[in-house]
Amino acid sequence: MTKTKERLEAFKELLDRKGLKYTYERECIYDEVQRIDQHFDADSLYDRFKKRGARIARATVYRNLPLLLESGVIQKSAGEGKRDFYEKTTSKGHHDHMVCLGCKRIIEFHSDELEALQDKLSHQYKFKLIFHDHRLFGYCEKCRA
Amino acid sequence: MTKTKERLEAFKELLDRKGLKYTYERECIYDEVQRIDQHFDADSLYDRFKKRGARIARATVYRNLPLLLESGVIQKSAGEGKRDFYEKTTSKGHHDHMVCLGCKRIIEFHSDELEALQDKLSHQYKFKLIFHDHRLFGYCEKCRA
DNA sequence: TTGAATGCAAAACCTTTGCAAGCTC
DNA sequence: GAGCTTGCAAAGGTTTTGCATTCAA
């Protein structure tokens, strides 16, 4: 079974577990999210439906994102302001962020060692890790002067 | 020099660097933050002034928190909803969070290994680390069933 | 058939902003 | 005195909610 299908299953299982229904709108939202390779917020997702003429209300998008989050289909991404940002969960390509308090620049980084350590800690706490949000705040090379 | 005074110096230096002034209100806000041992948001900080009869406007609080953040006096804390949460920066007692997607419970954890790894990564990227925000999302022991 | 989901628009919430008056330096 | 700050209240942007209607199981 492909990863994508596994995630859809996880979503359906969550709905089942909660006594919720797999509606047409939820299917649309799930599908659309899979097509987005960047991070996105609720409104930009809604816009994609609007531009295409799909009849999905903004409230429906807002109401369903938490379910996608809870099922691990999407994860929180580095927010750039007030809005919540998300990105679809993929096993590869994950990165974390260093945020410069001076120039606000965002440096992406990846560390296998870090990922491994998180797995180890999760295991210690009997926690089933789905995704994480890790940001380092400080000053970049230019701004630390 | 005590840690607390060092942080006040960092705050004053930031103001200087930006051509800003060390006003009575900024002093009040700095002091009040030092008295809070838990995490807090802008509004609860404002309430503390209001209850005590101090004349500091909500807008002033909102306008100054970013400066305390930038100077490293406070840091972002695990937000529990939409609001931004902060906590004062202390060298000891820092912890990160595992957030259960099922019951929303928050498990605090601490790992020296993790802290060390972050320092190492920061060094690699010539990044001066001030604080970080690290949350693991998944399912706790009870909810993973 | 029954409880859940949707759409719409209004409401709620948190945060930011404009402006006149007041302070630092 | 010049320019940054503040207080106030109004505005702004994002997310949530109430309710009647529609839909999944």
Q: Domain A94-145, CATH 3.40.630.30 — does that match? A: no
Does any strand D atom come closer than 7 Å to the Cβ of A42? yes
Cα separation, B112 vs A43, in Å, equals 39
CB A129 to CB B136 under 8 A? yes
Length of chain A, please? 145
A70 Cβ under 8 Å from any chain B Cβ? yes
Average pLDDT over residues A25-54: 94
Q: What is the CATH number of domain B1-90?
A: 1.10.10.10
Same fold, B1-90 and B94-145: no
Q: How confident is the model at residue B49 (pLDDT cuts 50, 70, 90)?
A: very high
Alpha helices in B1-137 (DSSP H): 3-17, 24-35, 42-52, 58-70, 112-124
- Partner B contacted by A103 (CB < 8 A): no
Q: How many CB atoms lie within 10 A of CB B106?
A: 13
Provide the angle, in degrees to the nearest 10, between the axes of the packed helices A24-35 and A58-70: 70
**Nearest-neighbour CA in chain A from B49: distance (Å):** 25
* Mean pLDDT over each residue of chain A, to the nearest integer: 88
Confidence at A100, pLDDT banded by 50, 70, 90 = confident
pLDDT tops 60 at residue A133: yes
Kindly report the pTM of this predicted structure. Answer: 0.84
Picking from B114, B138, B141, the nearest residue to A129 by CB comes out as B138
The whole-angstrom separation of Cα B19 and Cα A94 is 39
pLDDT of residue B142: 85
pLDDT recorded at residue A145: 67
Q: What are the residue boundaries of the structural domains of chain A, listed by start?
A: 1-90, 94-145
Residue B123 contacts A where some CB pair is shorter than 8 Å: no
Q: How far is B80 from chain A (nearest CA, A)?
A: 13
